[in-house]
């Protein structure tokens, strides 16, 4: 289900765009009004996996303050931030435990001008590229971002990636929504 695409800007902002499909298995699709892209405190999110997970991240997650002495953003994301996410998803009844390992879902998160990808085992990834994607349309979106014109605006690049994912993935559907950190809805 879905396609979420994120892009880091040269000016320290992050844009994330997503579609509106809610897919049950491979046969049923609903177009949802609850957007998969949102801002919570100092972070911008785009999620796949489950609307329940997205609701918890949006409305229940309290973003922990990065300790003043902690200068390493990646370390903060892997520790304080992920600890808060795991607790939020457990408390909300979403996270599961399989073979003694916590499992959540997939989402992109932008923080302090950097884009991160959180996997279902709560690992935090940072791509060598300035963009990333997740969801069933991610391969198409990544190809579009890699092959796209870097001179285009973030909005144009993300919209094009989502359009290409729509063309080739049955789990992607408009309308598309995009936010940029610090700007609100684009």
- For residues 185 and 134, what is the distance between their CA atoms, to the nearest angstrom? 20
Quickly state the pLDDT bin for 20 (edges 50, 70, 90): very high
Percent of the chain residues past pLDDT 90, beyond the cut: 80
- For residues 28 and 115, what is the distance between their CA atoms, to the nearest angstrom? 31
164's tokens: 């290409």
- Say what the pLDDT of residue 136 is: 94
Q: Is 184 left (phi over 0), alpha (psi -120 to 50) or beta?
A: left
Quickly state the pLDDT bin for 84 (edges 50, 70, 90): very high
86 CB contacts (<8 Å, ≥6 apart)?
Answer: 95, 102, 104, 122
Helix (H) or strand (E) holding 96: strand 96-98
Q: What are phi and psi of 36, to 5 degrees?
A: -90, 0
- For residues 20 and 52, what is the distance between their CA atoms, to the nearest angstrom? 14
Render pLDDT for 51-78 as a digit per residue (tens, 0 to 9): 999 999 999 999 999 987 667 999 999 9
Assign domain 4-185 to its CATH superfamily. Answer: Aminohydrolase, N-terminal nucleophile (Ntn) domain (3.60.20.10)
- For residues 133 and 117, what is the distance between their CA atoms, to the nearest angstrom? 8
Mean pLDDT of the chain: 92
> What is the DSSP pairing of strand 14-18 with strand 4-8?
antiparallel
Distances in Å between the alpha carbon of 89 and those of 2, 40, 58, 60, 93? 20, 15, 11, 9, 6
Distances in Å between the alpha carbon of 165 and those of 18, 36, 107, 148? 11, 16, 17, 14
| 162, 176 Cβ separation under 8 angstroms | yes
Question: What's 66's DSSP letter?
Answer: P
The β-bridge partners of 108 are 46, 117
Render pLDDT for 31-45 as a digit per residue (tens, 0 to 9): 998 999 999 999 999
């Amino acid at each position: 289900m879905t396609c979420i695409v994120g892009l880091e800007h040269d000016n320290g902002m992050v844009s994330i765009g997503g579609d509106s499909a809610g897919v049950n298995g491979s046969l049923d699709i609903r177009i949802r009004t609850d957007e998969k892209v949102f801002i919570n405190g100092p972070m911008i999110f785009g999620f796949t996996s489950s609307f329940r997970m997205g609701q918890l991240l949006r409305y229940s997650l309290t973003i922990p303050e990065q300790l003043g002495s902690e200068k390493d953003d990646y370390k903060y994301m892997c520790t304080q931030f992920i600890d808060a996410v795991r607790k939020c998803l457990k408390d909300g009844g979403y996270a599961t435990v399989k073979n003694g390992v916590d499992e959540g879902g997939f989402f992109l998160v932008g923080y302090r001008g950097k884009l991160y990808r959180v996997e279902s085992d709560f690992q935090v990834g940072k791509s060598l590229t300035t963009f990333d994607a997740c969801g069933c349309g991610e391969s198409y979106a990544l190809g579009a971002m890699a092959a796209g014109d870097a001179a285009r605006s973030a909005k144009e690049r993300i919209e094009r990636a989502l359009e290409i994912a729509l063309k080739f993935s049955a789990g992607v559907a408009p309308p598309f929504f995009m936010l940029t950190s610090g700007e609100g809805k684009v």
